[in-house]
Amino acid sequence: MEEENIKEEWKTWEPVSDLSEKYYIESVSNDLKKGLKIVVCDEKNEKKKVIITFEYAISSYKWTNETFRLDTAAFLDEKYGKKFYTKWTFFKVTNSSYLQLLSKESSGIADYYSLIHFAIIESNSILDIIASYEPNVEFVEDK
């Protein structure tokens, strides 16, 4: 387990009500005019989608294959149990090691912003987003 993870606190995040438990990421697009847009599909019904849009500037994001986040999975399993992250998709992280890295890399400038670490965990990867605001979230159903 990574030592910097010891103080991290992961909490389920329910940006809108009536979410399904698990989603997979269909697409991630970053457009300077439209922002960061994430489309996730319900694992049980791919026609049911959730669109998460960060319309304004975000500080950072990374999309990482699960193979390169084994320590994170082990940490979550040990601290919260496997069901915590295998039966839910959306999370917020406080005391985030990712935010600590951004603080270090920015010579502390990141500390002056009220940054939020959002995490989307799917079966094969983790998408981490750092922003200073909540995104717009909407349900969409393909016909």
Q: What is the pLDDT of residues 8-25, one digit of tens each?
A: 999 999 999 889 999 999
Between CA 49 and CA 90 the distance in angstroms is: 14
- In angstroms, the first-to-last Cα distance of the chain is 44
The answer to whether the CB of 22 falls within 8 A of the CB of 56 is no
Domains of the chain by residue range: 3-141
Would you place residue 142 in the very low, low, confident or very high pLDDT band (cuts 50, 70, 90)?
confident
Q: What is the pLDDT of residues 95-140, one digit of tens each?
A: 999 999 999 999 988 888 899 999 999 989 999 999 999 999 999 8
> What is the average per-residue pLDDT within 52-71?
94
**For the purposes of burial, counting CB atoms within 10 Å of the CB of 23, is it exposed (0-12), middle (13-18) or buried (19 or more)?**
buried
Per-residue pLDDT, 143? 67
